[in-house]
Structure 1
């Protein structure tokens, strides 16, 4: 089974449909933290809806597209990462993330995203990695900075959520930038 250690107790591994009950429980337990930033969190509240949502990513993985991974700490699902977009034809991808506050402050998201970038760039030949978040989500922006990404700008009113259209920051990292920072 695929597993990547993030620290002494946390690991990154695929989040598959058979884990729907566990995923729904983690989302429900952390809903107040997730729903300001992730509209999907309000729709993944039971096993059936979680399974359907995870199946979209399983189908994407089978089609060599989007993928989703969980972060487990001491055996408990506490967050995750995803290639929300993975497009080999355009040599680009977009990473999305979430993490429960109980697992915060240890760099788990930065480590997981860095592992994903390494795989995308080195194993798959991806040229451009994107990160998108609301400008008010300063924790997410901070991860993009730690990953060495460049803030390209803000798409005004680009994402419909919570009954309004919110701005979206766009960050990116090019393969040559990642290599320059990591292969020295």
Structure 2
């Protein structure tokens, strides 16, 4: 496993079972905030649910089918970023992410996404990275826009979010278009 130093106070490292309580606490403290855009929040009812998620991420990594990491800021877990899975035949992946509300606005997610994109293209030799965001989740959409992704379309009613469907904006970035921009 790895630990990636994004900058002095920001690190990406794989989730381990020993992080269960910290990640559950972060989820609990941000439950109503996260529920605006993430469909899994209501299904996360206990630390055991987080433990199962962490075990799934470790199995995913062991199967060479993705990578999930905790985003650590000033020594505390601030959120999660990961590849949903890797399509090796087509050399593609998609990135998902979330941050606790108090960690917003510090550039953590843009920098973390940049590190994941660089890893996807330079280390994994993938050709395409995709990010999908709810159409009205402007904070989340600003990440791929800032990083030079092309908006490729809108998937209508792509996700059931508790009491309604939400449209998703699809962003794509190709390895040949990645310029390692400063963020």
Pick the TM interval, shorter chain: over 0.9
Please list, as runs of the form range in 1=range in 2, the aligned pairs for 1:81-96 lying within 5 A after superposition: 81-96=81-96
State the alpha-carbon separation in 1 of the partners of residues 164 and 103 from structure 2.
30
Residues 73-105 of structure 1: CA distance to partner in whole angstroms, max 9, x if unpaired? Answer: 222111120111222222100001111222222
Please list, as runs of the form range in 1=range in 2, the aligned pairs for 1:106-117 lying within 5 A after superposition: 106-117=106-117
Unaligned stretches of 5+ residues in structure 2: none
Could you tell me which residue of structure 2 aligns to residue 164 of structure 1?
164
Query: Which runs of at least 4 in structure 1 moved beyond 4 Å after TM superposition?
Result: none
Deviation at 1:52, TM superposition (A): 0.9
- Alignment RMSD: 1.5
Unaligned stretches of 5+ residues in structure 1: none
Deviation at 1:2, TM superposition (A): 2.3
Residues 105 and 7 (structure 1), Cα distance of their counterparts in 2 relative to 1, 3 Å cut: farther
State the alpha-carbon separation in 2 of the partners of residues 44 and 98 from structure 1.
15
State the alpha-carbon separation in 1 of the partners of residues 46 and 129 from structure 2.
32
State the alpha-carbon separation in 2 of the partners of residues 95 and 165 from structure 1.
21
State the alpha-carbon separation in 1 of the partners of residues 152 and 80 from structure 2.
25
Aligned length: 181
State the alpha-carbon separation in 1 of the partners of residues 74 and 180 from structure 2.
28
Please list, as runs of the form range in 1=range in 2, the aligned pairs for 1:28-177 lying within 5 A after superposition: 28-177=28-177
State the alpha-carbon separation in 2 of the partners of residues 87 and 46 from structure 1.
31
State the alpha-carbon separation in 2 of the partners of residues 115 and 9 from structure 1.
14
